[in-house]
Amino acid sequence: MASDTKAATAAKQRNAEIRKTFGEFVPDGVDPQKIYDQWNAALFGDRQLAEGKNKDEILLFALGQAKIAGIDLRVAGQMWINEEGKVITSLEGMVTIAEKTNKYGGTTRPEYEFGEDGKTIVACTMGIHKLLGDHLVVSEQTVYFDEYTTGEGFWESKPKTMIKKVAHAHCLRASFSMCNGMYIAEEVEKSVPKSKDSQKDDMQAQIEKSLAKKKKAGKTNVKPMKKAKPVK
């Protein structure tokens, strides 16, 4: 009985703490702990924050940005927080936040830098028009392709589009303080390069898979290796 009373008191105190910290985001008549758990499930999932990161501060920031951008946190994948405490959202969400300031004037045309072959993208420079007083001021940012590409998916098939998105996000953060701390998925999905042994394993697996398909279709021409004749 005493333990039940103690648990109820602790729950009441925790609800009061949540409502004090997240007051404007906790609707009347809703259990604070329940909605807090929903936020955590939507934004953190199974991810654990790096040591030294304040979870409630990051969560409060994310909730504020979601409200400004009109992001419904009940819809999976629209916004989340990674292990480093970075708030990941869509580029459209960041643009919406910038537009709410009534100072966002769009972007400049992206300029691409290519390698010696004239085809490989090295960097992308892009600018944002921001209204300062009666004048539109351009703020440019340059991002480098090899720092973000995963070498696969859209990074392989649409490299200009992908690096342009990264450049746009950089510009938004540089020009609008309300976008600070927000990142798009294209900035944080850098894949870890595979080792040579791993690459060999992948190649061997592809060869074996291809041979298996041909064998199943009755098209394989692979013959067993002949035994070498003994040297006399």
The reported pLDDT for the residue numbered 6 is 82
Structural domain including 22 reads 12-89
Same-domain pairing of 122 and 33: no
Count how many domains the chain has: 2
Shared domain for 80 and 95, answered yes or no, is no
- The whole-number pLDDT of residue 201 equals 47
- Residues near 52 by beta carbon (within 8 Å), at least 6 away in sequence: none
What's the Cα-to-Cα distance from 181 to each of 5, 74, 173, rounded to whole Å? Answer: 41, 21, 8
Strand-strand pairing, 87-89 and 182-184: parallel
In a domain, 208, yes or no: no
pLDDT by position in tens, the chain (length 232): 667 788 888 889 999 999 999 999 998 889 999 999 999 998 998 889 999 999 999 999 999 988 888 888 877 778 999 999 999 998 998 999 999 999 999 999 999 999 999 999 999 999 999 999 989 999 999 999 999 999 999 999 999 999 999 999 999 999 999 898 899 999 987 533 333 443 444 445 555 555 665 555 554 444 443 444 444 4
- pLDDT for 72 equals 80
Q: How far apart are CA 97 and CA 68, in angstroms?
A: 6
Does residue 94 share a domain with residue 187?
yes
Are residues 175 and 95 located together in one domain of the fold? yes
Position 2 scores a pLDDT of 64
Judge whether 166 lies within some domain: yes
